Amino acid sequence: MLGSNGRNNIFVFTGPDGSGRKSVAEAVGQTFGMEKVISFVTRPPRQGEVNGHDYHFISNEKYREMELAGEFLESVEIDGQRYGIRSADIENKLHHRDSVYLIMNHEGAGILKNIYGDQVVRLFLYADRRTVEERERNLGLPEETIMKHLNHYDREMSYRHSCEHAFENYDLGQTTYEITNELERYLERGLIDKD
């Protein structure tokens, strides 16, 4: 379904782990009644993660089957685990709605941009290295995971200038407000009084 501006919007939240992509994306998604396209992943769920909400958690074998069947629009390997987006999921959602959102690393964001061009709006979130490390520690992530994430920090940060918009995230309410304002320009739904 095309939006009031005559096109679909695919909002991709990207940036370093711990920058707040999931938190902000969920808040903004709720505000606009937008659906998330959920990734398939081979890593096991972490405590509190829900299958079908955070990810579709699947085995290596199942992932390979889907891959061989050509089901993935985008598929990457990060730290030995596979992450992918199923073509049908994004197409079905866009059939019923004008906009969707996803959360991915720079690689996935670049692939989607190449496929969907102007319909993809990359929203880059960031905070300094010490802050993201502290947030991940407060979340209780295993030390090994935090270290892996920090190893990707510089590479992810260097993607900032390729993105359509970038937001420093230190105050969750403020960041959500800024992104809502920005998305309103794309969605033209009149949720924000611009005067």
Ligand X SMILES: Nc1nc2c(ncn2[C@@H]2O[C@H](COP(=O)(O)OP(=O)(O)O)[C@@H](O)[C@H]2O)c(=O)[nH]1
For residue 49, the minimal CB distance to ligand X (Å) is 8
Residue whose C-beta lies closest to ligand X? 108
Partner touching 176 among ligand ADP, ligand X, none, CB below 5 to 8 Å by kind:
none
CA nearest neighbour of 101 among 42, 47, 23, 188 = 23
User: At 36, is the secondary structure helix, strand, or coil?
Assistant: strand
Specify the long-range contacts of residues 29-32, CB closer than 8 Å, at least 24 apart: 29/101, 31/176, 31/180, 31/191, 32/99, 32/180, 32/183, 32/187, 32/189, 32/191
Q: What are phi and psi of 135, to 5 degrees?
A: -60, -40
The residues that bridge with 10 in the sheet, in sequence order, are 100, 120
Which secondary-structure segment (H or E) carries 154? helix 153-157
Instruction: Tell me if 172 contacts ligand ADP by CB under 6 A.
Output: yes
Q: Does 17 bind ligand X (CB under 6 A)?
A: yes
The answer to whether 100 contacts ligand X (rule: CB under 6 A) is no
CA distance 186 to 13: 15
In the list ligand X, ligand ADP, none, the entry touching 84 (Cβ below 5 to 8 angstroms by class) is: ligand X
Q: How far is the CB of 83 from ligand X (least distance, A)?
A: 4
Choose the one of ligand ADP, ligand X, none that binds residue 107, judging by a C-beta under 5 to 8 angstroms depending on kind.
ligand X
43 binds, among ligand X, ligand ADP, none (CB under 5 to 8 A by kind): ligand X
| Minimum CB distance to ligand X, residue 100 (Å) | 13
- Pick one of 4, 64, 114, 170: the residue that binds ligand ADP (CB under 6 A): 170
